């Protein structure tokens, strides 16, 4: 997080700000928004927006089989069959099914998936061609407006849980192909949408246009003629279709993604941590070989490096494994070209920590605490490991010879610069499906079907694993585990937006009162 410096207003802008805040607090009329967007340019727009954001702001799985398509995006073939296949491939590359499919109902693209954001739960919508609940009545222009600008057909704003700030860079041809696929290649599902009800001030969708003025800046992708075709394709996939920066780029105080050198340098993502993707050999992927990166993106697993879990496992399952080899290669080409961003204090690559552990005497401890039974309050981290982990990951932490159960040393989850991913894997488990084969680690958090561990026990277990197999400088407390179990640390905006909005509203009302008093005195 970095500070967002708010502009100060001159007196000549005061009448405009009073009007603007009054409109925001009461609900901006949609018909004004286009004219406001056109007038609020340059310095004036930034100043106007600063007061808006200071007073009231709003925050920010079944898989279709992918079809092989040419790597380079030339004009989309006019034949309907080619257009349909192109749109289907793009929908997979954009990972639409991951968010727009409720894993409970398994109705693809019918919405209802609960996205647990720092501002509250946001439910994805039905994007099948249902004319009652979906996008069946959308024109192509309305579809484009939703995908690129986050504005629905009725004029209301989407929340940036929908990554329209990345999709804004989609080419016209790709938007056209996506529209054709969703309106002609997807079966309508008559499923009502679940209502998103965020707390104040995030329930004021009208204020999203102000956030968009600050952070919705991408234009349709234009290739860099000085770079190779593979590099340009990779950049388009990373920054737009796969929207990698939505997770791997840090966010500022207003929940907008950082720009410049911070891009793809790693970021907290709720309970998880999306790692640094730059070419730095210690903090990023600079120590990875090209074939390792390609294998990871296709399978989510590289022995002695990393295993995909959480949101990345979803991306592997629903999207990345279905991309063509040429597209995966292009992604790697682009990622390896990113300028290195290092994290202070990191002495060696995250995947190089640890070694096999010799634990003499462990054999008479393993299994003494039956799985599923009540765990003593004074149990040690070592005993917890023997009870819950050693049967799969082995006493020495080496995992199995075939790599199905990974080693706990030379593992980015145990050797990273944050404990989040190990703790989250323990709490929520690991699940991904590649080529029809499921990889599953059970969850040990509340409600576990195997063994439910409380926050103190998860902390003891995690600290033992860090010390024995990973980065010994990492440690967590029961309070840290509780925070991660509840979705991660609350960002500044989520903590203080409501109070800031109330204070901002009071200030605006006081300004209005002062203006009225001053005008009445002049008339006397």
Q: Is 244 annotated as a binding residue?
A: yes
Q: Is 99 annotated as a binding residue?
A: yes
Structure tokens at 407: 């080693």
Closest among 179, 159, 151, 190 to 30, alpha carbons compared:
151
Q: Is 247 annotated as a binding residue?
A: yes
Contact 351, 412 (CB under 8 A): yes
Q: Is 248 annotated as a binding residue?
A: yes
Do the strands 114-117 and 120-123 form a parallel or antiparallel pair, or are they unpaired? antiparallel
Q: For residue 402, count CB atoms less than 10 angstroms from its CB and return exposed for 0-12, middle for 13-18, buried for 19 or more.
A: exposed
Cα–Cα distance for residue pair 105/326, rounded to 1 Å = 34
- If you ran DSSP here, which 8-state letter would residue 360 be given? T
Q: Is 55 annotated as a binding residue?
A: no
Q: Is 96 annotated as a binding residue?
A: yes
Cα–Cα distance for residue pair 386/383, rounded to 1 Å = 5
- If you ran DSSP here, which 8-state letter would residue 151 be given? B
Q: Is 243 annotated as a binding residue?
A: no
Phi, psi (deg, nearest 5) at residue 219: -110, 165
Contact 473, 256 (CB under 8 A): no
Q: For residue 218, count CB atoms less than 10 angstroms from its CB and return exposed for 0-12, middle for 13-18, buried for 19 or more.
A: middle
Q: Is 389 annotated as a binding residue?
A: yes
Structure tokens at 516: 């009225």
Alpha helices in 429-491 (DSSP H): 455-469, 478-485
Closest among 21, 50, 66, 151 to 323, alpha carbons compared:
66
Structure tokens at 81: 């069959």
3-class secondary-structure state, position 440: strand
- Tell me the Ramachandran region of residue 345: left when phi exceeds 0, alpha when psi lies from -120 to 50, beta otherwise: left
Q: What does the DSSP assignment read for 75-90?
A: SPPSSHHHHHHHHHHH
Altogether, the residues listed in the chain come to a count of 524
Cα–Cα distance for residue pair 68/322, rounded to 1 Å = 9
Known binding positions: 96, 99-100, 244, 247-248, 389, 392-393
Known binding positions for heme c: 96, 99-100, 244, 247-248, 389, 392-393
């Amino acid at each position: 997080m970095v500070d967002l410096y708010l502009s100060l207003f001159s007196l000549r802008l005061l009448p405009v700000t009073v009007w603007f805040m009054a409109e925001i607090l009461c609900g901006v009329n949609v018909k004004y928004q286009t004219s406001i967007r056109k007038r609020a340019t340059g310095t004036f727009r930034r100043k106007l927006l600063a007061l808006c954001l200071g007073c009231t702001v709003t925050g920010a799985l079944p898989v279709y089989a992918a079809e092989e398509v040419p790597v380079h995006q030339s004009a989309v073939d006019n034949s309907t069959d080619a257009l349909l296949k192109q749109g289907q491939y793009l929908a997979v590359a954009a990972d639409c099914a991951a968010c727009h499919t409720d894993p409970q109902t398994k109705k693809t693209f019918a919405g209802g998936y609960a996205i647990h954001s720092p501002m509250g739960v946001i439910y994805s919508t039905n994007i099948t061609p249902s004319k009652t609940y979906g996008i069946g009545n959308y024109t192509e222009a309305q579809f484009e407006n939703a995908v690129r600008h986050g504005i629905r057909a009725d004029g209301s704003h989407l929340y940036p849980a929908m990554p329209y700030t990345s999709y804004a860079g989609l080419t016209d041809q790709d938007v056209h192909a996506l529209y054709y696929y969703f309106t002609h290649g997807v079966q309508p599902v008559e499923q009502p949408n679940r209502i998103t009800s965020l707390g104040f001030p995030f329930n004021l969708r009208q204020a999203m246009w102000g956030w968009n003025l600050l952070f919705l800046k991408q234009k349709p992708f234009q290739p860099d003629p000085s770079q190779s075709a593979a590099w340009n394709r990779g950049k388009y996939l990373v920054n737009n279709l796969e929207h990698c920066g939505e997770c791997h780029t840090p966010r500022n105080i207003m929940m907008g993604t950082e720009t410049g050198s911070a891009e793809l340098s790693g970021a907290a993502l709720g309970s998880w941590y999306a790692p640094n993707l730059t070419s730095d050999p210690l903090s990023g992927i600079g120590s990875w070989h090209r074939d390792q990166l390609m294998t990871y993106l296709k399978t989510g697993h590289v022995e002695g490096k990393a295993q995909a879990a959480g949101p990345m496992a979803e991306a592997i399952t629903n999207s990345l494994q279905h991309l063509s080899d040429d597209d995966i290669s292009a992604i790697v080409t682009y990622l390896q070209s990113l300028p290195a961003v290092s994290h202070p204090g990191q002495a060696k690559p995250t995947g190089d920590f640890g070694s096999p552990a010799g634990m003499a005497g462990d054999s008479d401890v393993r299994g003494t605490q039956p799985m599923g039974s009540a765990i003593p309050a004074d149990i040690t981290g070592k005993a917890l490991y023997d009870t819950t982990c050693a049967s799969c990951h082995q006493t020495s932490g080496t995992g199995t010879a075939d790599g199905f159960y990974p080693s706990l040393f030379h593992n980015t989850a145990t050797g990273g610069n944050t404990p989040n991913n190990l703790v989250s894997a323990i709490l929520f488990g690991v699940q991904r499906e590649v080529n029809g084969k499921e990889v599953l680690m059970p969850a040990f958090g509340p409600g576990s079907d195997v063994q439910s561990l409380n926050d103190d026990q998860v902390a003891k277990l995690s600290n033992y694993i860090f010390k024995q197999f990973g980065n010994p400088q990492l440690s967590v407390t029961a309070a840290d585990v509780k925070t991660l179990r509840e979705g991660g640390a609350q960002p500044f905006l989520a903590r203080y937006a409501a109070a800031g909005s109330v204070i901002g509203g009071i200030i605006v009302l006081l300004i209005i009162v002062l203006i009225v008093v001053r005008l009445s005195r002049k008339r006397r």
